[in-house]
Structure 1
Amino acid sequence: MASTTLPRVASMLAAAVLLVVVACQKQAPTPDTAELAALSALPLAAPAPADNPGTPAKIALGRALFWDPVLSGGKDVSCATCHHPANGYADAIELSIGSNGQGLGTNRHFRSPNNIPFVKRNSPTVLNAAFNGLAADGSIDPASAPMFWDLRAQSLEAQSLLPIASLEEMRGPACSEAAALDSAVARLRRLPAYGTMFSSAFGGTAPITATNVGKAIACFERTLVATDSPFDRYRRGDNTALTAQQVQGLQAFVTSGCAKCHSGPMFSDYKTHVLGVADNAKNPVSDAGVNGAYAFRTPSLRNVALTAPYMHSGTIRDLAGVLNFYDPGRGQAPSANAHVSVGQRDPLFPGRVTDPAAIIAFLQSLSASSYDRSVPASVPSGLPVGGNIQ
């Protein structure tokens, strides 16, 4: 009796040990504590550089300029054309259509005849762009904040002026790139309403300058912040703000390696990386990014669910497609760009994307509900608000 019982007990113990081992193997990896802690809530307000503090007069002027197509060479495009609140302050299309365009968002198209190309890259949202450069320790220098996919501008003040001189964005064929800002300033100076607004905002005898245009738009854009996302509320102590699946997704986001580049409160390291993202066929030539190396800046994931399509080329339609791109085990090949070899790509993370459905649920928790969606009834030029967007 004893001789038959002992082997049976031993067999049962071995099976139990095996079950424990298997159970342990199936447990989710433990997130890196430091990376998890770095994904913190946003401040409630965005800081301004010392030489451009926000004032009600400057914000009101910047709001008017943001929505007024008078800044564009053809008086048909405003900042809001490609950064509209209806589209999360982006434009909902792969590559933006600026000059010679008509309509808003997915309804936007070129007017005919067309001699203007698409904007070269996907339009990033300006919502929370005032927090660009915000580090995990809370430090930020708004005067050197990184902007654009290729980091070609630092600060909102510098960024806001470049589209005015861009052929495909706002300038059109009306003047040369070198003359674009002077031309825009001349148009503003012919409008008495802007003379009053600039004097109120900046004082002096001749306040309508390109520098002050950039400063005013930047002051307005610093009010376009969204800081009450479920994730922010969760990080501020409301443990009910995220669902169980979203908490699981947060952990999977870290263990899958996403937080190695999408780090800190803005979910960006603000660095450029070579990913091998597919070119957009609407561009006549391949977009080689920074220094011809096919490197592009890590975008913020704040409000990411509002700003599809994704990547600098706008070639990935949804968040599931983004995760498929990063996971070499499914979806696209390791390099979707013929100009980028597998060896040239940055080593993003070591393993597969774990629990993509939970990660997507978590990414949706980064979208805030309270931010300025208002559209002015008119602009000082009397032109259509937002440009040709109807």
Structure 2
Amino acid sequence: MKRALLMAALLGVATPAGLAAADKALPSPITDSEYAPVNMDEARLGRLLFYDPILSGNRNIACSTCHNPRFATGDGVSLGLGEGGIGLGLDRRPDPEDMPEQRIPRNAPPLFNLGAHAFTRLFDDGRIEADPSRPSGLRTPLEDEMVTGFANVLSAQTMFPVLAQDEMAGHYQESDVSKMAREGRITGAGGAWDVISKRVAAIPAYRAMFDKAYPQIAAGRPIAFTDISNAIAAFIAFEWRSDESPFDAYLRGKGTLSAEAETGMGLFYGRARCSTCHSGPFQTDNKFHAMGEPQLGPGKVARFEQGQRDIGRMRVSNRPQDAYAFRTPSLRNVTHTGPWGHAGAHTDLAEFVRYHADPVAGMAHYQRTAILPKFKPAKPDWAIMDDPAERQAILAAVKAPPVKLSDGDVTAILAFLDSLSDPVALKGRLGVPDSVPSGLPVDQ
């Protein structure tokens, strides 16, 4: 009742029905039932694979290059450099002997809670999603060629970056993996995934860990690419489960929030309308919304396309109403995961909140403060924002009405968002290994 009275006061309601509605606005506490159980032998194996560059075409990039705990499981920049880059975060720079062709088109998303059952669509455009009607149980860009054996959506998602030339595969003709990906040979014997599987299986230490984690492999089945992917997914699910924040303690009746965070919570679940999309236990409806976000970089387009326009979900669904719509991100640990936005256009969370509340006003006053590794790409970084027609098209897709927020409102909302920070998840549970079985360098 105390929580209901607090919410009623913040939301400006006084009737019994209003009290019930205010209390109902908050999500239920997260329980173990939100997650699948984790096989720790599988997770320990996945930890080493996650940090091992052996999975990349040129053996020079690991999953951890763009999803590093030092940067709250992101990479600390607006748009990163994959293949052809050296170093981590803002220190990452082009390799003069292997120059990148372009920046990675979208901001590296954080990995918190992706092992939860609620996450059935992944990537900003949802191009990987659960689909029980398909033999694989998944809908992916591979369509009917998608193999069976991926344990879940997270497992499938983790392994598509190894096929992307700008992320992990390498440029055309640079490696056996990039050549196979270029030719469209992904699955089956001799395909890109098979090439990677054989690399891993040839390392005795990995072979022993696979035998321990998977009885079928110990009994003689060859290591499949899906085994690698499933192990990495198990590691991500365990390492970055995030439900021990002050807000979680508050929901469980085992903690309190500061007065300012409580005010921000009332705004978030009330007048500011944040929870219209950022709903549920992980502060996401997992749907797609056009919010008028600035776009920079090459855009999510095919190599042969001349433009740089990133139309988001429409590229997957082919529905005009999905133009410029992107998946609602979870807000767990959000104060640590900047830059923000699908293209990392915002480096100040307060400004991002203001922009989100009123995209038309936000676009008019937007300052280009993106964090970008020094690099002169073939496609200009700000081509879309330099074109008034492109900016207008982005804004025309916005359907949500503007919300008026004072500076005090924004400060309070930020205080609430900070209460979503989980020190256990931010630190990680197993941590970064000192070495990996391939003997290749580990991102620290």
2:380 match: none
Please state if 1:279 is matched with 2:277: no
Partners of 1:84 and 1:77 in 2: CA distance: 12
How big is the alpha-carbon RMSD for the aligned residues of Structure 1 and Structure 2?
A: 2.4
Q: Which whole-Å deviations, capped at 9, do the CAs of 1:322-343 have from their partners, x for residues lacking one?
A: 1121233854339975152544
Deviation at 1:165, TM superposition (A): 1.0
Q: Identify if the C-alpha distance between structure 1 residues 152 and 334 changes in structure 2 by more than 3 Å, giving closer, same or farther.
A: farther
Choose which of 1, 9, 12 in structure 2 pairs with 1:30.
12
| Contact 1:70–1:76 (8 Å) recurs in 2 | yes
Mark the CA change 1:29 to 1:235 in structure 2 (over 3 Å): closer, same or farther.
closer
**Paired amino acid for 1:344:** A
- Which residue does 2:50 correspond to in 1? 66
Task: Choose the corresponding residue for 1:323, options 347, 353, 363.
Answer: 353
Q: For 1:116 and 1:181, how far apart are their aligned partners in 2? A: 23
Shift of 1:350: 5.3
1:238 maps to 254
2:404 aligned to 308, 327, 352, which one? 352
Q: 2 CA distance for matches of 1:166 and 1:235?
A: 41
Greater shift in the superposed pair: 281-290 or 205-214: 281-290
Aligned position for 2:434: 377
Is residue 266 of structure 2 the alignment partner of residue 251 of structure 1? yes
Q: CA deviation at 1:152?
A: 1.2
Which of the numbers 119, 122, 133 marks the counterpart of 2:104? 119
Alignment of 1:147 with 2:145, yes or no, is: no
State which of 209, 224, 237 in structure 2 corresponds to 1:209.
224
Q: Which residue does 1:288 correspond to in 2?
A: 311
CA distance in 1, matches of 2:335, 2:242: 13
SS in structure 2 opposite 1:249?
Answer: helix
- Residue 279 of structure 2 is matched in structure 1 by 263
Q: Which is higher, the Rg of structure 1 or of structure 2?
A: 1
Post-superposition Cα deviations, 1:245-299, rounded to whole Å, max 9, x if no partner, equal 0000001112111110000111001001112211114557121212241111000
| TM-score, scaled relative to structure 2 | 0.72
Q: What does residue 200 of structure 2 align with?
A: 188
Shift of 1:216: 0.8
Residues 196-239 of structure 1: per-residue CA shift (max 9 Å, x gap):
11111113313411111111111111102122111111111134
- Give the Cα separation in 2 of the matches to 1:166 and 1:34: 46
Q: Give the structure 2 partner of residue 7 of structure 1.
A: none
- Are the counterparts in 2 of residues 62 and 218 from structure 1 also a CA contact under 8 Å? yes
- AA in 2 matched with 1:382: G
Q: Which runs of 5 or more residues in structure 1 are unaligned?
A: 1-26, 135-144
Aligned counterpart, 1:167: 165
Amino acid at match of 1:385: V
| Identical-pair percentage | 36
Q: Residue 107 and residue 39 in structure 1: after superposition, are their counterparts in 2 closer, same or farther (change >3 A)?
A: farther
1:5 matched residue in structure 2:
none
Structure 1 residues 319, 189: closer, same or farther in 2, change over 3 A?
same
- Do the aligned residues in 2 keep the contact of 1:44 with 1:227 (CA within 8 Å)? no
TM-score by length of 1: 0.82
CA distance in 2 between counterparts of 1:312 and 1:342 reads 15
SS in 2 for 1:296: strand
Instruction: Return the alpha-carbon distance in structure 2 between the equivalents of residues 282 and 227 of structure 1.
Output: 35
Mark the CA change 1:116 to 1:199 in structure 2 (over 3 Å): closer, same or farther: farther
> 2:338 matched to 1:338?
no
Opposite residue 148 of structure 1, the aligned amino acid is F
Aligned residues between the structures: 345
Match of 2:70 in 1: 86
Instruction: State the alpha-carbon separation in 1 of the partners of residues 339 and 124 from structure 2.
Output: 15
Displaced runs of 4+ in structure 1, greater than 6 A? none
Distance apart, 1:98 and its partner CA: 1.6
Whether the aligned pair in 2 keeps the contact of 1:132 and 1:147 (CA below 8 Å) is no
**Does 2:74 align with 1:99?**
no
Residues 44-94 of structure 1: per-residue CA shift (max 9 Å, x gap):
57522xxxx632221111111111110000111111111111111111110
Question: Do the aligned partners of 2:324 and 2:397 also contact (CA within 8 Å) in 1?
Answer: no
Q: 2:415 aligns with which of 356, 361, 378?
A: 361
Cα 1:35–1:200 change in 2 (3 A) is same
Q: Unmatched 5+ residue regions in structure 2?
A: 1-8, 130-152, 300-306, 316-322, 367-384
* Alpha-carbon separation, structure 1, partners of 2:245 and 2:107: 24
Structure-to-structure mapping, 1:219-230, within 5 angstroms: 219-223=234-238, 224-230=240-246
Match of 2:335 in 1: 305
What are the superposed Cα offsets for residues 134-167 of structure 1, whole Å, 9 maximum, x if unpaired? 6xxxxxxxxxx22110111131111111111111
Cα separation, partners in 2 of 1:277 and 1:132, compared to 1, 3 Å:
farther
